[in-house]
Structure 1
Amino acid sequence: MSPTLVLIVFILVYFLLITEKWNRVLAAMSGGAVMLLIGAFPIEKALFTYIDWKTIALLFAMMIIVTMTSKTGFFEYLAIRMAQLVNGNGLALLVLFSLLAAAGSAFLANVTIAMLLVPILFKLTKLLDLPPIPYLIMTILACNIGGTATLIGDPPNMMIGQAVKHFTFNAFLENLLPVVSIVYVVTLLIMGTVYRDVIHVKEDRKLLLKGVHAKDFLRKNHGLFQSISVLLMVLAGFSLYPMFHLDVTTVAIAGAVLLMLLLEKIYPPESILKEVEWGTLFFFIGLFLLVGGIEEAGFIDEAAREIIRVTDGDMQKTSFAILWGTGILSAVVDNIPFVAAMIPVIQEFGEFGMVNMDPVWWSLALGACLGGNGTLLGSSSNLVIAGLAAKESVHIKFYQYLLIGVPITLISLAVSSVYVYFKYLRPFMGG
């Protein structure tokens, strides 16, 4: 296997994804297939190491639950109630949706929150004749920002929590919630300013909203009670992770199977399976293989070690290099393999005499999670939201998102730098 050839394939596929010259599913799957053909890794390693089947299974299960729940009118009901709560104000809805996305992503998987909120979002924007793109982009940003705050919000945090034993659930909240709150407020102010003129709701739509009865949209004979009960059970199972360490994928699969069993006579399993977003799932598989090729060729390990090498053991330089290096790289490649590569490097660095590695670990968490906002390919929740939008014939263009995602990411990393300096580095350096 030639590392140069692997890099060429990776860059070429990313070029196709960025320019949208090809269908994104075909581009990702083609890249994964070429990685196998050129011998980047054997098929066994592709299937059992690089493809994250837990993520694929979680997405698959939640797609089934959301698809079946959507048939009951429950999402329309929630959309109308939310719109009526803020009297149809477009800016207030942006705030409300982003708060739900951020808070939900902090305590549940941000992919799950994305799948629950996007159907409601589309019902809402159609009802009020609002452009969905501003709300979709804000939901993406809020999911990644909110997921940064807790141990279970984003996979990189779970990995760091397992590597550093004193980084408990409460430790993540105490250390990351303050900076995450600042980043969220700054992001909301920017988004509200950028889209202020296009999220204005016309008066006739507001009047129409007042006369709508949300309960009229609920279809009780379509499995409403069963769908809501199973959905609440699954969400409860997710939230119990800190206490019982219930695997979220296991909970989601159990919930999906239970719901199909309960509603088999109303919705035959074959009809539900046809509505699963198979394109999104196969896009993820292709992307996992693509990043796997880069990892197998040693580029991710080399990037991790280069960040450490250039800092020469200086705590301040190391923290900032990891924060910015991880943030920028996480916008381009999946942050999970990069964090996996960084963990042993940082542990090794601690063995060379560096004491109090906490600033470095928190920098890694902030960079990995907030960096996911940089591009549409930076985070799983980004891709899920883009896939759900495409199902509704709304296409978030790569460059369109880039114009918002890159500035927000740079500002988020700058805010995090100030926080890391005053919270950890200045006290560590003695004032």
Structure 2
Amino acid sequence: METTLSIAVFVISYLFIMTEKINRALVAMTGGFLMLITGIYQWNDAFTEYIDWNTITLLFSMMVLVSITKKTGLFEYVAISLAQKVKGAPGPLLLVTGTLTAIGSALLDNVTTVLLFVPILLTLTERLNLPAFPYLMVVILCANIGGTATLIGDPPNIMIGQSVEHFTFLSFIVHLGPVVLVIFTTTLAALYFLFRKSLISDGERSKELLELTPTDYLKKTPMLYQSTAVLGLTIVGFLSHSFIHLELTTVAVCGALLLLLLTDKEVDAEKVFEEVEWVTLFFFIGLFMLVGGLEQVGVIDELARWMMWVTEGDLPATALVILWSSGLLSGVVDNIPFVAAMIPVIEEFESYGMANLDPLWWSLALGACLGGNGTLIGASANVVVAGLAASAKHPVGFLRFALYGMPVVLFSLIVCTIYVYVRYLLPFIVASH
């Protein structure tokens, strides 16, 4: 009875999240609390076992850091400077947008990056009288691709990094960076080719942009230098956390607290907290609770047994099944709850005698992060961009997005299959024979 109930709550919650008729954080939290009310687990279990507070705290800290830095005008300065570097030309601006988004998503995280960049981008397209859709597509796709490369770039990677003790910030760059670079450059070139005819320059608008002075957007107060320094130090902390023996979450919280203390006279902490994306954080909490219900009644264990039965415990087959299933399913449902459900599944494989789980973790990271490009609800960054675009009267249609997103996902998964096979599975097959 409990199993049927937890599956029903999970599926119904997902359907409501997919339809977007009701706020998704509200749906996820309601589903999570239905698990509590029906006695599937107790609040103490949810609080201590199922909600990943490390992930929530890390995201919260990054939102605080960015919220303060945004007030200095630094991001507007960077965007206008880059637009002027390409002389307001639409094609090069598209390429710069994709590159900047990918780098930002790798260093900050994709949700934070799109929150910063989309309002600036919409301002630039309006100033230059350009269609917003091509740029919004490039931002979403490049944010998810760039975020795949690092531990903090995409929430699924944060969750995997918190679950596997020997994975460091550099591990993700070394193992995922090469394949991400190939997918990014190819995808950006393809998008440029597809959209090139709609990118027609308005000479008068370009001239107006070139007359702007980027430094006018910088608020040259102590907060500018403080926020730039602390944000830089935090990123350095992420890169060296395995050497300084501090958790990523600790580094992020220290950075957020330090910046709050330094800027207390210039910006009210309460105002900063008001600007945190609480809807996103509560959405994650609700999803962790939903997945916890499935874990509590044994659905996760059954999924692990089913995958072992399908692949007969063969490492290469299991890795590729995880890569493709996570890639395709992440396009249909949000990749965060999928990864939350898959982490205990992969951990379960160890009890079935599978010694080296690393290829499975990298397959999950690649599939879940890149698969998020499939549909408009495939990843948190997609939903954030869609919301910002809709409020600016530039809605991104579900089917129109999928028309571009799904081919990108299929191409990404084919490239990843070759990469995972050659880098991890082929050496294993050779050694076992």
Q: Which residue of 2 aligns with 1:184?
A: 184
Q: Which residue of 2 aligns with 1:234?
A: 234
Q: Is the 8 A contact 1:69 1:227 kept in 2?
A: yes
Distance in 1 between residues matched to 2:48 and 2:314, nearest whole Å: 38
Distance in 2 between residues matched to 1:292 and 1:42, nearest whole Å: 11
Shift of residue 315 of structure 1? 4.6
Deviates more, 1:154-163 or 1:405-414: 154-163
Distance in 2 between residues matched to 1:273 and 1:170, nearest whole Å: 31
Q: Is the 8 A contact 2:130 2:201 kept in 1?
A: yes
Distance in 1 between residues matched to 2:167 and 2:277, nearest whole Å: 36
Question: How many residues end up aligned between the 2 structures?
Answer: 428
Deviates more, 1:301-310 or 1:196-205: 196-205
Distance in 2 between residues matched to 1:306 and 1:119, nearest whole Å: 45
Q: Which residue of 2 aligns with 1:248?
A: 248
Distance in 1 between residues matched to 2:162 and 2:27, nearest whole Å: 34
Deviates more, 1:286-295 or 1:144-153: 144-153
Deviation sequence 1:113-147 (CA, Å, 0-9, x none): 44444454344334334444443443333233233
Q: Which residue of 1 aligns with 2:328?
A: 328
Pick closer, same or farther for the CA change 1:321–1:271 going to 2, 3 Å.
Answer: closer
The answer to whether 1:280 aligns with 2:280 is yes
Pick closer, same or farther for the CA change 1:130–1:46 going to 2, 3 Å.
Answer: farther
Deviation sequence 1:220-241 (CA, Å, 0-9, x none): 2483333323332333323333
Q: Which residue of 2 aligns with 1:338?
A: 341
Pick closer, same or farther for the CA change 1:271–1:106 going to 2, 3 Å.
Answer: closer
So what's the TM-score if we normalise by structure 2? 0.83
Q: Is the 8 A contact 2:346 2:360 kept in 1?
A: no
Pick closer, same or farther for the CA change 1:2–1:117 going to 2, 3 Å.
Answer: same
**Identity value in percent:** 49
Q: Is the 8 A contact 2:371 2:409 kept in 1?
A: yes
Q: Which residue of 1 aligns with 2:419?
A: 419
Task: Kindly report which structure 2 residues correspond to 1:289-328, keeping only aligned pairs within 5 A, or say none.
Answer: 289-328=289-328
The answer to whether 1:91 aligns with 2:94 is no
Distance in 1 between residues matched to 2:162 and 2:268, nearest whole Å: 41
Shift of residue 214 of structure 1? 0.7
Instruction: State the one-letter code of the partner of 1:97.
Output: T
Q: Is the 8 A contact 2:143 2:381 kept in 1?
A: yes
Q: Which residue of 1 aligns with 2:33?
A: 33
Deviates more, 1:418-427 or 1:9-18: 418-427
The answer to whether 1:7 aligns with 2:18 is no
Distance in 1 between residues matched to 2:255 and 2:208, nearest whole Å: 37
Deviates more, 1:414-423 or 1:81-90: 414-423
Distance in 2 between residues matched to 1:120 and 1:30, nearest whole Å: 34
Pick closer, same or farther for the CA change 1:23–1:147 going to 2, 3 Å.
Answer: closer
Shift of residue 85 of structure 1? 1.4
Pick closer, same or farther for the CA change 1:318–1:32 going to 2, 3 Å.
Answer: closer
Q: Is the 8 A contact 1:339 1:368 kept in 2?
A: no
Pick closer, same or farther for the CA change 1:387–1:69 going to 2, 3 Å.
Answer: farther
Pick closer, same or farther for the CA change 1:253–1:396 going to 2, 3 Å.
Answer: farther
Distance in 2 between residues matched to 1:82 and 1:199, nearest whole Å: 17
Q: Is the 8 A contact 1:75 1:119 kept in 2?
A: no
Unpaired runs of at least 5, structure 2: none
Deviation sequence 1:68-127 (CA, Å, 0-9, x none): 322222222111101011222233223223223333444554444444444543443343
